[in-house]
Amino acid sequence: MLSACGGSKNAFTQSGQGSYYADKFNGRPTASGAPYRPGQMTAAHNTLPFGTRIKVTNVKNGRSVKVVVNDRGPHVKGRIVDVSRKAARKLDLVEAGVVPVQLKVIKAAPTSSSKR
């Protein structure tokens, strides 16, 4: 589910399933060109521009994190975001693997970022 209020880019919200990157991706380049680092607070989203800061909330327990979009994905039907391992630990989703989440844009990407 997508929603935007008042025409503001920062009003973007989305609800769905969230997951996290497997450790095998450590060091591999993301779609933005930056290497994936499990200890950073990053995420993959299919449409938000690189550099967008989003708040991801685990709907089951209310825990939230702020991450920066630097990759495309997830590439599994029904999922709306993949977060780094560090973000997954803070959300308490590592054991479950996939949890219901809500996303909210908290800072739009600089205008020079690409949607690729």
Burial class of 55 by CB neighbour count within 10 A (0 to 12, 13 to 18, 19+): middle
Domain extent, residue 22, equals 2-107
Overall domain count for the chain: 1
What's the per-residue H, E or C state across 21-71? Answer: CCHHHCCCECCCCCECCCCCCEEECCCCCCCCEEEEEECCCCCEEEEEEEE
Assess if residue 34 is contained within a domain. Answer: yes
Assess if residue 116 is contained within a domain. Answer: no
Q: pLDDT (tens digit, 9 = 90+) per residue, 60-101? A: 999 999 999 999 999 999 999 999 999 999 999 999 999 999
Looking up residue 103, the CATH number of its domain turns out to be 2.40.40.10
Q: Is the pTM of this model over 0.75?
A: yes
φ, ψ for residue 40, nearest 5 deg: -100, 165
